[in-house]
Chain A
């Protein structure tokens, strides 16, 4: 029965996923219902067990592939005739976890039980070397459980987010985190450190801009050994906007003659090539089409908008014909997501909304409605977009699940998000 449900669900997702700009308005209520049981030993702190439960429940909800039973349930690890079926809850699946007491690692044993038959269909022991990384342990478990039901992968949940946050005037720290901001570790502090960008898919190092020296400088921080290397400096401003898939080329926004343009920097040869050539503002270059073309923001029409250009010629193509201030963009295959200022006014709470377009069709899909929604970044899969949300005085990390048409926010407790990458 469950397999039939899953196949039906997958067929539905696949048929709509053909064009992510088509908004799905009819909900199909056949998602498997899952309950989560805590089978951890009693001497593990109760609050810790409950927060782990909440992380798992949150992940499964954000995946949009499950209906999640909200109640916090306990069980022994082997369970029994009641715990292995939970007949009164009418669930299809039971996720049972038992946290380990090890002080030096984040570890758990996990079972996935078919609640119709009481049979354990999946069981695994997990161990991450750093106890503080328990949110990543929860995400890893959720990714595996999601894989077990054959749903589209949510492996993006295991990706680390790197972000800069303003702490006070001219001061910004760089922090790595999980997507819920439950885990946070400050990697760079002291002065103004901004625009972090992962240097590769492995996420073992990142580039960032520091204002600590005579000129703004891009550094690379290798998290494996803590080493920091200066890459390139420039007057005025310098930002690493994107990194090629092989990690060998960077798109930089630089102003060597007080004039911002986009440059291509080869990490191996240290050769710099000027890509855009306009006397106004050209920023926020992103690689597309196998790193042969870029999407970027320019005010060459008198207002910020989204353009594309091949790396080997100067022909520029306008990509967006909507909005009068489109100030940030991210691209994946033929999709572009951008942030657009709504309305002309100077204030009273300017609204910035995210829009998704396909370069192959005329469809335009509005993704947000209120507040300032800025800095969109596609995940490694095109179904998930991360962005910064500022609403009144609250700064949050936003996650949009495109196929499910749902948005989730994770608030930053102190400071203001400056930029993000994952």
Chain B
């Protein structure tokens, strides 16, 4: 009985000390949402390599300051991406277009601007024969710069749409 009492006391102490923490920090990477499986080693690594290769071969689309229309000098890249994503190796995948902005301006407007950029690219791909159902869009606003220098060259590079290939 005394062992049982001691064990119960120990458990109670552990539970109570656990519960005494107020306002615990939430880590969204350990969320209760869907988790991705690690898959079977052999098959998945070939798939991952294909995805990586498609993403590396896709062309980033750049935009002018405060604009979301496709510039004339970017149209060739839109065409190349459409051809890439419609190729036999890529046909089975979905494509996510990520819209991004430079660091200027308030972020809520920039997330919307980033989304308009992604949508313009999607419309450009669909016009070149891609099925609209294969393409989703998302905006990262100012959150995803490729460089952080304070000069025009860097700001130009950050105003872009790029691609993720989804199995």
Q: Which residue numbers of A lie inside 8 Å of B, CB to CB?
A: 166, 169-172, 185-195, 210-214, 216, 221, 223-224, 226, 228, 230, 235-237, 239, 241, 253, 255, 258-260, 280-284, 297, 303-304, 325, 327-328, 339, 341, 346-350, 352, 372, 374-375, 388, 390, 392-393, 418-419
Task: Decide if A418 touches B105 in the complex (CB within 8 Å).
Answer: no
Q: Contact at A325–B112, with CB atoms within 8 Å? A: no
Interface centre among B22, B24, B105, B146 (most CB of A within 10 A): B105
Residues A212 and B28 in contact, CB atoms below 8 Å apart: yes
Instruction: Using CB atoms, name the residue of chain A closest to B152.
Output: A347
Contact residues in A for B28 (Cβ distance below 8 Å):
188-191, 193, 210, 212
Contact B31 A186 (CB under 8 A): no
The 7 closest A-B pairs by CB, nearest first: A328-B106, A190-B29, A190-B28, A212-B28, A327-B109, A190-B27, A260-B112
CB contacts under 8 Å to A, within B104-139, are 104-109, 111-116, 118-119, 122, 136-139
Residues on B facing A (Cβ under 8 Å): 22-31, 33-34, 65-66, 103-109, 111-116, 118-119, 122, 136-146, 150-152, 155
Residues from chain B with a CB closer than 8 A to the CB of A341 are: 104-105
Among A211, A239, A258, A392, contact of B108 (Cβ-Cβ < 8 Å): A239
CB pair B31 A213 closer than 8 Å: yes
Q: A189-B27, A213-B31, A260-B115 are in contact. Are A195 and B108 (CB under 8 A)?
A: yes
**B109, B113, B114 — which one has the most chain A CB atoms within 10 A of its CB?**
B109
Across the interface, do B33 and A304 meet the contact criterion of CB distance under 8 Å? no
Q: Which of B23, B113, B146, B152 contacts A281 (CB 8 A)?
A: B113
- Is B112 a contact partner of A281 (Cβ separation < 8 A)? yes
If A185-B23, A190-B30, A223-B23 touch, whether A284 touches B109 (CB-CB below 8 Å) is: yes
Q: Are A169 and B108 in contact (CB under 8 A)?
A: no
Task: Decide if B34 touches A236 in the complex (CB within 8 Å).
Answer: no
**How far, in angstroms, from A216 to B33 measured CA to CA in the complex?**
12
CB <8 Å contact, B112 and A283: yes
Contacts of A210 in B (CB 8 A): 28
Q: What are 10 A-B contacts with C-beta separation under 8 Å?
A: A226-B24, A226-B26, A235-B138, A239-B108, A258-B118, A283-B111, A297-B108, A327-B105, A328-B106, A347-B155
Cα separation A133 to B118 with both chains bound (whole Å): 43
A212's nearest neighbour on chain B, judged by CB, is: B28
Contacts of B30 in A (CB 8 A): 190
Q: How far is the CA of A350 from the CA of B101 in the complex (A)?
A: 15
Q: Are A186 and B143 touching (Cβ within 8 A)?
A: no
Contacts A190-B29, A237-B138, A281-B113: A258 and B150 contacting too (C-beta < 8 A)?
no
A-side contacts of B114, CB under 8 Å: 237
Q: Quick one: given A213-B34, A236-B118, A258-B119, are A283 and B108 in contact (CB under 8 Å)?
A: yes
Closest to A327 in B: B109
A residues near B137, Cβ cutoff 8 Å: 235-236, 258
Q: What are the residues of chain B within 8 A of A223 when measuring CB–CB?
A: 23
Is A328 a contact partner of B23 (Cβ separation < 8 A)?
A: no
Known pairs A190-B30, A235-B138; list 19 more (Cβ under 8 Å): A166-B142, A170-B140, A189-B25, A190-B28, A190-B31, A194-B143, A213-B33, A228-B26, A253-B112, A281-B109, A282-B112, A303-B66, A327-B105, A339-B106, A346-B155, A347-B152, A374-B105, A374-B106, A375-B106
Least Cβ–Cβ distance between B158 and chain A, in angstroms:
10
Contact of B144 with A170 in the complex, beta carbons under 8 Å: yes
* Bound CA–CA A362/B146 (angstroms): 43
